[in-house]
């Protein structure tokens, strides 16, 4: 037994020595490795459409590559990415099959950028992970003697129209066999079981991870999360839920709120009654002061493992407060595009952290920034190789990867601090164009401006406009939230915008922000409700006076769109007249907006109207926006009158359209009109009577959904469950909701912890009016404590008195015209 353990120790020692040797080797031969990596990428991908397009003709040397292949941003390669996402699996960017898309937290047109990846990249990521503990062990002994309490989460994933999975890089890693089937490694024993990390519900995942961390409190030797914001969210979770957690630990029974079957099954093996532990945790958490709580609850913690460089530096004081000043370790620098490098001095102070690039991960070039705010043509043509960067200078990172990104600008600005062997080490300076960031969100100035414009439309009816604005990422609250300062011009003070209008402005702004922001708000709950603080008239002039008093030029002064300097934030706060918060969550769904567009346009490419707009099968947002006009109904009504007379729409565009909102006159003449039901009724009648040619849609019409507003509708109340009618040729005609509830999508839906209903399907599907509501109510009462949300399609469904005894109910009658 002792022999076996000694052997294992020796194996570990050798593994670590090999890892450190590897780092030394690649960093010593930096330029040689880079040259080889580029040659490998270019020869492997010589036959790709992209490299052929740039006439590389099989060349693999740096010079030809730099001469022929342009430096690009995401928007430049988006059409190629879009083709892959739509299912074109020819070698466009990469000769190997794209295994999935990694969704970056950087966005383009409000959606996460899609980064192609290939299966072998997972091995390269794994390689970088395998170097972390050997480096850490040089500075911190005996990390194999305890466990790591890391709060790790997966995020929602989606599929592109071509069927490729699109998800964040860490979700991809945690779901991979590399992670799930990892062999036992004494240096990487986590308190969180895989089932907790892989639970898609962030509440259940966090609850289980926290319980496990508490059970193992005396074995925990390090506490971490990917980003500092994530660790603070875990502390906040403990603050909010310690009573429930302690209750479960004391009784040994897991809360009913944890419904994920795999997680429950795993936790059943972990849960045990431990009233002493529960009592201890409760006493610690009940204390008003939470200073040093991490050290008190997990007394053997040696350090926190979290990224506190870049935007996360704002959380350092709060982390210090809760941890009692434990060292903060930033281990690596990575992205969805490529994993870049690691921190060889993990215990250095956050302000000193620098990352050593690993030259084998990809081919790296650098745009010198020369202290200039904007890149010049000159600096673009002077891209510097990894081994040639100069200490003390700032650069923007440009990468070429095996998965098919060529000279791609990541958007990160790095500062060279020195070299390890012949490989440079960089401080992460900032992400370009990021104004506000709380968690993984990155909001730029244009996005903020657009959000302000959207919200200001709500003020117009009140004769009110926004004179000036600025913003602030408030990380004093957990989770942090965006604060937007507004100075308003209210022209009619008797009729100014009320509290509710300004609250709605907050939500309107959130709706306009990018999908990563909204995902953090809705799914991860890692950002709190957006706040608007209205300041006194004249505040922004005072701000200018302050800046000028500090040396700003009066001619060049521009209102900062984000403030981070304390005296300015304090000045603004001292002038606040009212504060408003978003009253509810903005909309967010894992579906990408552009994916939905691609699907609609590709399915309906043969549709008469789309052909008329000369879309020619294009499915991208840009062509769609350019070719298909935005229209409004009222102004086109006279023209639309042609349709009921039985003309096919192809006859219509010859008619003048008086006022479409189009980009130019050319498009005006080919615009698709906005129509109302009566206008399209002749087509609908044709389908209803059995004309199954592609009249409106290229796919077969499966059924008709009966709209509550059809002309024939007679009564105000209808039971949604009944089949109402069939068309003359036998197509089902029923309300949308009935169609959905009766579909296998609903009836055979897999278990989803976000959507577990108190009502059994039999109640939902019962065609009677009285019987289902009776059963809904009984099951709702039985589950009273577990109920988190109450709902019905419309408020009338919750309030209606049609279920009172003796109230007549009406049936909706739907009749097709002969």
Nearest approach in angstroms of CB 514 to ligand AMP is 12
Check residue 514 for interaction with ligand AMP (CB under 6 A). no
3-state SS class at 616: coil
The residue to which tokens 């552009």 are assigned: 594
Is residue 710 classed exposed, middle or buried when 0-12, 13-18 and 19+ CB atoms within 10 A define those classes? middle
Among 96, 335, 470, 739, binds ligand AMP (CB under 6 A): 335
Tokens of 532: 């608007």
- Sign of the CA dihedral with 386 first, then 388, 394, and 396 last: negative
Stretch that binds ligand AMP, among 68-76, 303-311, 364-372, 560-568 (CB under 6 A): 303-311
Verify binding: residue 356, ligand AMP, rule CB under 6 A: no
One-character DSSP codes across 661-692: B-SSHHHHTTPPPP--HHHHHHHHHHHHTT--
- Alpha-helical (H) ranges within 54-96 are 62-68, 74-85
Q: Per CB under 6 A, does 314 bind ligand AMP?
A: no
Q: Which of 204, 309, 314, 401 binds ligand AMP (CB under 6 A)?
A: 309
3 state DSSP class of 754 = helix
Which CB atom, from 168 or from 479, has the smaller least distance to ligand AMP?
168
520's tokens = 């953090």
End-to-end CA distance of the chain, in Å? Answer: 88
Torsion of CA 236, 240, 243, 249, to 10 degrees: -40
d(Cα 480, Cα 473) in Å, to the nearest integer? Answer: 7
Provide, rounded to whole angstroms, the least separation between the CB of residue 168 and ligand AMP.
6
Site for ligand AMP in 91-120 (CB under 6 A): 104-106
Site track for ligand AMP across 426-455, x = CB under 6 A: --x--x--------x---------------
Q: Which of 45, 117, 221, 336 binds ligand AMP (CB under 6 A)?
A: 336
Binding residues with ligand AMP: total (CB under 6 A): 17
Verify binding: residue 307, ligand AMP, rule CB under 6 A. Answer: yes
Among 207, 315, 333, 624, binds ligand AMP (CB under 6 A): 333
SS3 content of the chain, % helix, strand, coil (to 5): 45, 15, 40
CB of 105 to ligand AMP, least distance (A): 3
350 binds ligand AMP (CB under 6 A): no
Comparing CB distances to ligand AMP, the nearer of 105 and 515 is 105
Long-range CB pairs of 251-259 (<8 Å, 24+ gap) are: 254/208, 254/211, 255/207, 256/785, 256/786, 257/203, 257/204, 257/207, 257/786, 258/204, 258/207, 258/208, 259/204, 259/753, 259/756
Q: How far is CA 214 from the centre of its chain?
A: 30
CA 432 to chain centre: 19
Task: In angstroms, give the least distance from the CB of 151 to ligand AMP.
Answer: 17
Q: Please, which residue, 77 or 572, has the CB nearer to ligand AMP?
A: 77
Per CB under 6 A, which region of 159-167, 191-199, 328-336, 542-550 contacts ligand AMP? 328-336
Examine residue 412 and tell whether it contacts ligand AMP (CB under 6 A).
yes
* Residue 435 φ then ψ, to 5°: -95, -50
Question: CA-CA distance, 480 to 721, in Å (whole number)?
Answer: 44
Which of 106/346 has CB closer to ligand AMP?
A: 106
- Contact between 42 and ligand AMP by CB under 6 A: the answer reads no
Name the one range near ligand AMP by CB under 6 A: 334-342, 547-555, 575-583, 672-680: 334-342
Q: Which helix (H) or strand (E) holds 489?
A: strand 481-490
CB 342, CB 355: distance < 8 Å: yes
Nearer to ligand AMP, 191 or 314 (CB): 314
Q: In the set 297, 326, 330, 466, which binds ligand AMP (CB under 6 A)?
A: 330
Stretch that binds ligand AMP, among 333-341, 399-407, 686-694, 770-778 (CB under 6 A): 333-341
Site residues (CB under 6 A) for ligand AMP, limited to 138-177: 169
CB of 726 to ligand AMP, least distance (A): 51
**Residue 362 binds to ligand AMP (criterion: CB under 6 A):** no
Residues at the contact surface with ligand AMP, assessed by CB under 6 A? 104-106, 169, 307, 309-310, 330, 333-336, 410, 412, 428, 431, 440
């Amino acid at each position: 037994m002792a022999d076996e353990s000694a052997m294992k120790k020796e194996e570990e020692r050798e593994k670590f020595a090999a890892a450190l040797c590897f780092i030394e080797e690649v960093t010593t031969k930096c330029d040689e490795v880079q040259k080889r990596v580029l040659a490998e990428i270019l020869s492997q991908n010589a036959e790709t459409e992209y490299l052929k397009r740039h006439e590389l003709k099989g060349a693999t040397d740096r010079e030809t590559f730099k001469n022929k292949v342009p430096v690009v941003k995401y928007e430049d390669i988006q059409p190629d990415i879009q083709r892959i996402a739509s299912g074109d699996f020819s070698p466009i960017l990469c000769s190997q099959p794209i295994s999935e898309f990694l969704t970056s937290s950087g966005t383009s047109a409000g959606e996460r950028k899609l980064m192609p990846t290939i299966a072998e990249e997972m091995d390269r990521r794994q390689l970088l992970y395998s170097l972390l503990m050997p480096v850490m062990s040089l500075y911190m002994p005996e990390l194999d003697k305890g466990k790591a309490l890391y709060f790790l989460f997966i995020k929602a994933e989606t599929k592109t129209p071509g069927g490729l999975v699109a998800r964040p890089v860490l979700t991809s890693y945690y779901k991979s066999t590399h992670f799930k089937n990892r062999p036992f490694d004494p240096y990487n024993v986590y308190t969180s079981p895989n089932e907790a990390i892989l639970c898609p519900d962030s509440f259940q995942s966090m609850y289980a991870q926290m319980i496990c961390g508490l059970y193992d409190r005396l074995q925990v030797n390090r506490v971490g999360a990917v980003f500092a914001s994530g660790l603070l969210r875990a502390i906040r979770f403990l603050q909010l839920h310690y009573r429930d957690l302690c209750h479960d630990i004391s009784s040994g029974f897991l809360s009913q709120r944890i419904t994920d079957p795999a997680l429950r099954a795993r936790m059943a093996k972990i849960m045990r009654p431990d009233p002493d532990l529960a009592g201890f945790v409760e006493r610690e958490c009940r204390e008003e002061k939470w200073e040093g709580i991490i050290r008190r609850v997990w007394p053997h913690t040696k350090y926190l493992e979290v990224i506190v460089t870049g935007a996360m530096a704002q959380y350092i004081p709060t982390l210090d407060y809760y941890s009692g000043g434990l060292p903060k370790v930033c281990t690596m620098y990575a992205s969805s595009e490529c994993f870049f490098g690691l921190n060889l001095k993990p215990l250095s102070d956050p302000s000193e952290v620098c990352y050593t690039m690993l030259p084998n991960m990809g081919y790296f070039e650098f745009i010198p920034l020369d202290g200039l705010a904007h890149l010049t043509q000159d600096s673009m043509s002077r891209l510097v190789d990894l081994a040639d960067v100069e200490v003390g200078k700032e650069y923007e990172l440009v990468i070429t990867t095996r998965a098919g990104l060529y000279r791609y600008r990541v958007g990160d600005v790095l500062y060279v601090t020195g070299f390890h062997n012949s490989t440079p080490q960089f401080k992460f300076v900032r992400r370009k164009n990021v104004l506000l960031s709380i968690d993984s969100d990155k909001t730029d100035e244009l996005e903020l401006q657009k959000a302000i414009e959207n919200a200001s439309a709500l003020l117009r009816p009140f004769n009110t406009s926004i004179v000036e604005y600025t913003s602030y990422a408030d990380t004093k609250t957990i989770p942090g939230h965006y604060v937007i300062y507004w100075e308003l011009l209210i022209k009619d003070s008797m009729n100014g915008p009320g509290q509710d209008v300004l609250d709605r402005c907050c939500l309107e702004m959130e709706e306009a922000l990018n999908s990563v922001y909204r995902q953090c708000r809705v799914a991860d709950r890692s950002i709190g409700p957006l706040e608007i603080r209205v300041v006194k008239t004249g505040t922004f002039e005072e701000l200018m006076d302050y800046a000028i008093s500090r040396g700003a030029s009066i001619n060049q002064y521009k209102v900062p769109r984000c403030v981070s300097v304390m005296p300015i934030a304090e000045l603004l706060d001292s002038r606040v007249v009212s504060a408003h918060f978003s009253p509810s969550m903005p909309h967010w769904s894992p579906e990408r907006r552009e994916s939905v567009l691609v699907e609609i346009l590709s399915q309906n490419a043969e549709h008469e109207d789309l052909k008329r707009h000369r879309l020619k099968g294009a499915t991208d947002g840009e062509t769609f926006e350019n070719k298909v006009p935005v229209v409004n109904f009222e102004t086109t009504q006279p023209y639309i009158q042609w349709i009921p007379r039985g003309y096919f729409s192809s006859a219509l565009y010859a008619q003048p359209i008086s006022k479409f909102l189009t980009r130019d006159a050319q498009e005006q003449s080919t615009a698709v009109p906005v129509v109302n039901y009566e206008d399209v009724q002749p087509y609908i009648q044709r389908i209803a009577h059995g004309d199954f040619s592609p009249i409106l849609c290229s796919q077969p019409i499966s059924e008709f959904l009966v709209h509550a507003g059809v002309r024939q509708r007679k009564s105000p109340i209808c039971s949604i469950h009944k089949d109402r009618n069939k068309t003359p040729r036998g197509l089902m005609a029923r309300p949308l909701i009935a169609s959905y509830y009766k579909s296998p999508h609903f009836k055979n839906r897999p278990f989803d912890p976000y959507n577990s209903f108190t009502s059994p399907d039999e109640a939902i599907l019962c065609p009677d009016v009285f019987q289902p509501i009776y059963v809904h109510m009984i099951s709702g009462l039985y589950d009273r404590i577990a109920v988190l949300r109450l709902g019905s399609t419309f408020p009338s469904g919750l309030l209606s008195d049609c279920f009172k005894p003796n109230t007549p109910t009406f049936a909706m009658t739907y009749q097709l015209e002969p």
